[in-house]
Amino acid sequence: MCSDAREIWAQVQDDVEVRWAWAVVYPPSWEPPPPGDELAAEPPPLTLQPRGLDWYAGLYTGLDEVGTYRIVVYAEDYDGQSARPKELLVQGCWPVYLPLVIHRY
């Protein structure tokens, strides 16, 4: 296991004002629920805070698995209109390979 934190940034624009921007981070081990199992838990959302000039960001500290994380960013305005979700892939927790020296007598 390793521990890695990354800040997720998204640029979100609206004609009036963005009400909420958030990201859902799916770790490499996450598997979608089987069909018909609507109550299966998804990872909790990470609220992205406004940082100015239409940028939103939040610190995610759960990148502790080796593999590719799927991050989906969402946004909604005060009229209840949702933006099209945007997906990105991030490599988390690179494996470390140490050299091995074998001495034969």
Under DSSP, is residue 64 helix (H, G, I), strand (E, B) or coil? Answer: coil
Q: Is the model's pLDDT at 71 over the cut of 70?
A: yes
> What pLDDT sits at residue 69?
92
Q: Tell me whether residue 68 is in a domain.
A: yes
* Residue with the two structure tokens 């996450």: 30
Q: Tell me whether residue 24 is in a domain.
A: yes
From 61, 87, 73, select the one nearest 24 (Cα to Cα).
73
Rg (CA), the chain: 19
Q: What is the mean pLDDT of residues 57-66?
A: 90
Q: Tell me whether residue 100 is in a domain.
A: no
Q: Tell me whether residue 104 is in a domain.
A: no
**Total of domains in the chain:** 1
CATH code of the domain covering residue 81? 2.60.40.10
Domain that holds residue 32: 6-92
Q: What is the mean pLDDT of residues 79-84?
A: 94
> What pLDDT sits at residue 91?
83
Q: What is the sign, positive or negative, of the torsion defined by CA atoms of 33, 85, 10, 15?
A: negative
pLDDT (tens digit per residue) in 1-53: 566 678 999 999 998 899 999 999 999 999 887 787 666 678 999 999 999 99
Q: Tell me whether residue 1 is in a domain.
A: no
Q: Are 76 and 16 in contact (CB under 8 A)?
A: no
CA of 81: how far to CAs of 63, 77, 78, in Å? Answer: 30, 6, 7
Q: What is the mean pLDDT of residues 80-84?
A: 94
